[in-house]
Amino acid sequence: MMPVEIKKGLWQLPVVDWNVRDFHGYSVYQGTTYNTYLAVGDKITLFDTVKKDFAGDLLGMIAKIVDPAKIDYIVVNHAEPDHSGALPAIVEAVCPEKIFCSAVCKNALMDHFHDDTMPFSILTNGSETDIGGRTLYFMETRMLHWPDSCFSYLKEDKVLISSDAFGHHWATSERYDDEVDFSKLMRQCAKYYANIILPYSNMVQKVLSSVSSLNLEIDVIAPDHGLMWRKNIPAILSAYDEWSRHCLKNKAVIVYDTMWKSTEKMALSILDGLKSEGINTELMSLTHNHRSEVMTDILDASVVVFGSPTLNNGMLPSVNDMLCYMKGLKPAGGRIGGLFGSYGWSGEAVAEMKEYMVKAGLEMPEEPLKTKYVPDSDVLDQCFEYGRTLARHSAAKICV
Ligand code: FEO
């Protein structure tokens, strides 16, 4: 990929990872990008680096604009290794005068690289620093999504370098939001939010409020993954506001796995019951859907129903995996939860699942539904009614 000039002397250097497919449990089936930014003025400043394996690609891209050895400053907005893994190699090649970062980020970088020779220069929240004819306004955005996460706002350029926030995992040859299909872009953003940002929604609200109160003029939001925002800035800010407020839709998701189709029969009757109350319902088998896609659909659902048969006195491993993942992401906000499953002789799966659902923050107004071996027509009628009841509970939770 070629560098992209965003504003005069301000470049995006997109390193595209076309072939990555897994991001610690998140399915990045369309790859990702690690974006860095280069400001060329009286001083030359690099914002963030890339994954360790891509250090050579980044140096090659910098060399299309300037000799890397001429870089004066490196700004580190985030210590996670997809943005800092290449830092030691870049520092060795560049020998920067200063590495700007927050105190928290410096500690995190020290804990990663154990190198006290790096020329750290600490920036504080709200500080302004001249970087050779440009003003860097620095914002600590702790826990969005690591303690060290920060934004860099370039005042004269009106460009907000937002680290992971507003990003998405999607390898494309296009570089701006208005160059791709908008609905595909928003699905990728929702997936990113649901799988990475969701537990830090309170912090998102604080950061949105702080950006709004500062009245920052923003022509471009430049995240460290994916496409830059120049046309649809209000849309992505509004989406982050809705997602972080757990603004729920008239939507249910049934997540299940099955052994001999009994639990699946129950799932289908629950779906009919939900649908009969006018709630849009997704049926997601864990045999056929990746956990990160399921989580994306849960993001704005007002009802989340899990089903598993009992196997060896517990739930199926696929359901355990999904629930463990969801518990960490904490889809709270008053979502209504439901549970169901078949069993042969013991039937512990629903009780085991309930512990995860409660820890994930779901409200569980109804007792779980379970059936011995194969559901008959009476049980399927109960499943239908169960779906209807869950839909009615959810009515008060819907905000869009
Ligand atoms: Fe893309 Fe939190 O690193």
Catalytic residue, candidates 83, 168, 169, 225: 225
CB burial of residue 208 (10 Å; 0-12, 13-18, 19+)? middle
Report yes or no: 155 and 134 within 8 Å, Cβ to Cβ. yes
Distance of CA 300 to the CA centre of its chain: 14
Catalytic residue, candidates 57, 164, 177, 264: 164
Query: 216-242, pLDDT tens digit by residue?
Result: 999 999 999 999 999 999 999 999 999
3-class secondary-structure state, position 60? helix
Residue 300 Cβ inside 6 Å of ligand 1? The answer reads: no
Taking the centre of ligand 1 as the mean of its atom positions, its distance from the CA of residue 198, in whole angstroms, is: 14
Does residue 289 carry a pLDDT above 70?
yes
Q: Could you tell me the strand order of the sheet in which 120-122 lies?
A: 4-7, 10-17, 32-40, 44-47, 73-75, 98-101, 120-122
Catalytic annotation on 192? yes
Residue 168 Cβ inside 6 Å of ligand 1? The answer reads: no
Report yes or no: 393 and 366 within 8 Å, Cβ to Cβ. yes
Q: Please tell me whether the peptide bond between 83 and the residue prior to it is cis, using omega within 30 degrees of 0.
A: no
Give 343's strand partners: 372
Q: What is the pLDDT of residue 400?
A: 64
Query: 142-153, pLDDT tens digit by residue?
Result: 999 999 999 999
Atom 2 in ligand 1: residue holding the nearest Cα: 80
Give 14's strand partners: 35
State mean pLDDT over 59-78.
98
∠ at Cα 21 (15, 24), nearest 5°? 95
Band (pLDDT 50/70/90 cuts) for residue 398 is confident
Band (pLDDT 50/70/90 cuts) for residue 374 is very high
> To 10 degrees, the CA torsion angle through 59, 80, 244, 156?
-40
CB burial of residue 137 (10 Å; 0-12, 13-18, 19+)? middle
Does residue 188 carry a pLDDT above 90?
yes
Catalytic residue, candidates 72, 80, 321, 348: 80
Residue 164 Cβ inside 6 Å of ligand 1? The answer reads: yes
Q: What is the pTM of this model?
A: 0.97
Give 46's strand partners: 38, 74
Residue 78 Cβ inside 6 Å of ligand 1? The answer reads: yes
Closest to 259 (Cα-Cα) out of 319, 306, 311: 311
3-class secondary-structure state, position 226? coil
Does residue 49 carry a pLDDT above 70?
yes
